[in-house]
Amino acid sequence: MELRHRSLPLTLLLATLVCAAVLAAPLAAQPGANLNVAHTDGYVTISPDGSCVVLKAHDGSLLALSGRWRGLRANDHVRLEGRLVPENRCGAPGGFEVTLVQAIWADDRHKTTYFDYTKDGEFRSWVQRNRPGDWDRGHERH
């Protein structure tokens, strides 16, 4: 089939509309999606006095953690849910307010976990069962 110069713009317009509809369909299927929710993955560092908790993400960026991180240990490889916040403390140019610890990875390839909220339930309960005393250290910052 030979395209004429007049039909090329119409064909491109129709192809663009079809692509836009296909890409927009998953967003429309999630009517309650919260665009303020973010996820990050990396390694936890905690200062000796517990005043600075920083996540070094896999892309090398540093995020000062606040919120519900209590129960995490230094060097934990984690996946966290929360929101980015304009914090620039503890030497980190940005911050992350943790609302949910989703996983503590047991390996660098994200194949096995020590904790997975989909299997193990609430993080606080898991910490109390598996890391006695870590919850009571009072490191959580708001």
Nearest CA to 106 among 74, 73, 78?
78
| Residue 14 located in a structural domain | no
| Residue 10 located in a structural domain | no
Beta pairing class for 38-46 and 94-105: unpaired
Alpha carbon 8 to chain centroid, angstroms: 43
Read off the pLDDT of residues 49-93 as tens digits, 9 standing for 90 and up. 888 999 999 999 999 999 999 999 999 999 999 999 987 788 889
Helix (H) or strand (E) holding 44: strand 38-46
| Residue 60 located in a structural domain | yes
Read off the pLDDT of residues 82-134 as tens digits, 9 standing for 90 and up. 999 987 788 889 999 999 999 999 999 999 999 999 999 999 999 999 998 77
* Predicted model pTM: 0.70
| Residue 84 located in a structural domain | yes
The number of residues in the chain equals 142
The total of structural domains in the chain comes to 1
| Residue 2 located in a structural domain | no
| Residue 33 located in a structural domain | no
Question: Looking at residue 60, which CATH number applies to its domain?
Answer: 2.40.50.140
Whole-number Cα distances in Å, 113 to 8, 39, 63, 67, 134 = 52, 17, 22, 22, 19
Distance between CA atoms of 36 and 82, rounded to whole angstroms? 8
Domain hosting residue 125, numbered range:
38-137
